[in-house]
């Protein structure tokens, strides 16, 4: 028996990259867990990929899917009233740094308004007659570290210098959760994810975009002339980290509230050019491409940062877990999936 046994877990963004992998892992790991998944199925990237992820989840008996937008307060309240979740994981968000420069409205709607609606529903789950949410876990991002110079990034660092609206909304989520933990005695945990990649990932992410261009024989654009570092984190490590966190409600901190934020990253920044070389090698090994890619080196883009590097000491100390999938292994698995999904089925 674990603390999650017999629980109903509400996951927003369930058709998304992390949400679908987390849902599958929970249903596979726990025989008595029920998952309620919500997703708007918007067209920020190809909806067919979201449908592909959901198709596998629909085979699970203890999974219920609801199509809906968390910016719709009435829909959110109805879901809480109908399914009475014990645990809530908010992964629904408008993602992407560069997209936030040209489409800010989407970030305000999902990342601020939608997040507020989830927080309010969690708060009101403590009203008389309702089923209280025991733990609220939500996605933050390494983007909150912005232009910080100190590395590795620690959750003790100040994060007051966002360089994108996306980063600003994620920091806002942490602040909102903190206020609700303080005001309403909620148990909340934020997770700062570091460049998540893997099978059935997001096509807007660099590694996926690079792959598409390589397959099409197009040159790829590499910014800051390739001189950037990223703490690439494989999806299975992210999911393991989330589940470990779900199993433990945060202890009361020095402020007297049950509030915590963790980094989940690989704790090993990779040089961007090494990343491209490794991806190219894995794709060639799978027979997806047959020659090296043409590369275009360009200046830094607005909203980008030079390096991300996660300090995961708290994760190791409190959960005995540290992400450890190597870049070579992670990209090999991604390449294998890509070949099966795009090159064989279609």
Residue with tokens 């990034």: 153
Element (H, E) at 63: strand 63-67
Asked whether the beta carbons of 68 and 79 are under 8 A apart, the reply is yes
Q: Tell me which of 44, 138, 145, 166 is the catalytic residue.
A: 166
DSSP letter at 125 equals T
Report DSSP letters for 296-322, one per residue.
EEEPPPTT--SB--B--HHHHHHHS--
Distance CA 216, CA 209 (A): 11
Asked whether the beta carbons of 239 and 17 are under 8 A apart, the reply is no
Distance CA 67, CA 51 (A): 12
Distance CA 32, CA 30 (A): 6
166 classed as catalytic: yes
- By the 10 Å C-beta count (0-12 exposed, 13-18 middle, 19+ buried), 190 is classed as buried
Rg (CA), the chain: 20
Distance CA 98, CA 306 (A): 15
Distance CA 226, CA 297 (A): 7
Quickly list H helices, 60-114: 73-83, 99-102, 104-107
Distance CA 72, CA 140 (A): 21
Identify which of 221, 238, 94, 118 has the alpha carbon closest to the alpha carbon of residue 167.
Answer: 94
Asked whether the beta carbons of 114 and 71 are under 8 A apart, the reply is yes
Distance CA 6, CA 285 (A): 44
Which residues are known catalytic residues?
166
């Amino acid at each position: 028996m674990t603390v999650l046994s017999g629980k109903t877990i509400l996951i927003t963004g369930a058709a998304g990259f992390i949400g679908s992998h987390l849902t599958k892992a929970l249903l596979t790991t726990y025989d008595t867990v029920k998952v309620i998944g919500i997703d708007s199925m918007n067209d920020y990237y190809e909806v067919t990929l979201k449908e592909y992820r959901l198709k596998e989840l629909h085979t699970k008996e203890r999974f219920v899917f609801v199509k809906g937008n968390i910016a719709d307060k009435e829909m959110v309240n109805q879901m809480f009233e109908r399914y009475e979740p014990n645990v809530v994981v908010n992964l629904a968000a408008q993602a992407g740094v560069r997209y936030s420069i040209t489409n800010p409205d989407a970030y305000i709607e999902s990342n601020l308004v939608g997040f507020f609606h989830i927080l309010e529903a969690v708060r009101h789950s403590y009203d008389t007659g309702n089923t209280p949410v025991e733990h609220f876990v939500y996605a933050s991002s390494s983007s909150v570290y912005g232009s910080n110079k100190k590395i590795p990034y620690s959750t003790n660092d100040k994060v007051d210098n966002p360089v994108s609206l996306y980063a600003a909304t994620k920091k806002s989520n942490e602040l909102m959760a903190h206020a609700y933990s303080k005001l309403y005695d909620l148990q909340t945990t934020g997770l700062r994810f570091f460049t998540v990649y893997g099978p059935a990932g997001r096509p807007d992410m660099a590694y996926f975009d690079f792959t598409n261009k390589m397959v099409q024989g197009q040159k790829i654009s590499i910014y800051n002339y390739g001189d950037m570092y990223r703490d690439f984190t494989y999806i299975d490590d992210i999911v393991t980290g989330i589940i470990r966190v779900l199993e433990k409600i945060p202890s009361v901190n020095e402020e007297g509230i049950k509030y915590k934020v963790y980094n989940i990253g690989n704790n090993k920044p990779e040089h961007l050019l090494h990343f491209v070389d490794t991806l190219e090698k894995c794709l060639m090994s799978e027979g997806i491409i047959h020659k090296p890619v043409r590369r275009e080196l360009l200046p830094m883009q607005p909203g980008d940062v030079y390096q991300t590097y996660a300090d995961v000491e708290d994760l190791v100390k409190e959960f005995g877990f540290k992400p450890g999938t190597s870049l070579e292994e992670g990209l090999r698995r991604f390449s294998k999936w890509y070949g099966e999904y795009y090159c064989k089925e279609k």
